[in-house]
């Protein structure tokens, strides 16, 4: 059984890390604003997804880390863009 990730899998995992991390960040921000709602199902799901991410991070090769982090930034930017659209467009 392989204990490393494929390049595509690393990109997808990075994207999901960014989405989940930024979503949880927005939920935390929502605690200070009367807006972005805490969701009893999706907030714990995002937290569990981040914990699972920790397991897979260890499977990345050193060459994949920067690629993974680039996709994580793309995911986070996508979610933050959606957040801005949701409230301010």
Partner 1 sequence: MAVPTVLRRVAGIFGNTLLFSLHLLFGLLLCLYLSYKVFERQFAIDALPAGIEPSSVVLLSGESGFREGCGAAVFRLSGYTRKRLLQEGGAFLESARQARGYGSSYYSYEPWQETPVPGGFTSEGGWPPLWCAGIDTRLARRIHTAMQAPGAFYSIKPEGLLLLIPDEGLIVSGYDG
Give me the residues that bind partner 1 (CB under 8 A), please: 1-3, 5, 9, 12-13, 15-16, 19-20, 23, 34-35, 37, 39, 41-42, 45-46, 48-49, 52-53, 55-56, 58-62, 65, 79, 82, 85-88
Shortest Å, Cβ 29 to partner 1 = 14
Least distance from partner 1 to the Cβ atom of residue 55, Å = 6
- Minimum CB distance to partner 1, residue 66 (Å): 12
* 63-68 long-range contacts, CB within 8 A, separation 24+: 64/4, 64/5, 64/7, 64/10, 67/7, 67/10, 67/11, 67/14, 68/10, 68/11, 68/13, 68/14, 68/17
Angle subtended at Cα 22 by Cα 16 and Cα 27, rounded to the nearest 5 degrees: 125
């Amino acid at each position: 059984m392989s204990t490393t990730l494929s390049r595509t899998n690393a990109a997808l995992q990075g994207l999901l890390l960014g989405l989940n991390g930024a979503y949880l960040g927005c939920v935390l921000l929502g605690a200070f604003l009367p807006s972005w709602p805490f969701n009893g199902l999706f907030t714990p799901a995002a937290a569990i997804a981040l914990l699972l991410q920790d397991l897979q991070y260890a499977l990345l090769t050193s060459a994949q880390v920067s690629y993974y982090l680039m996709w994580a930034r793309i995911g986070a930017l996508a979610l933050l863009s959606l957040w801005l659209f949701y409230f301010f467009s």
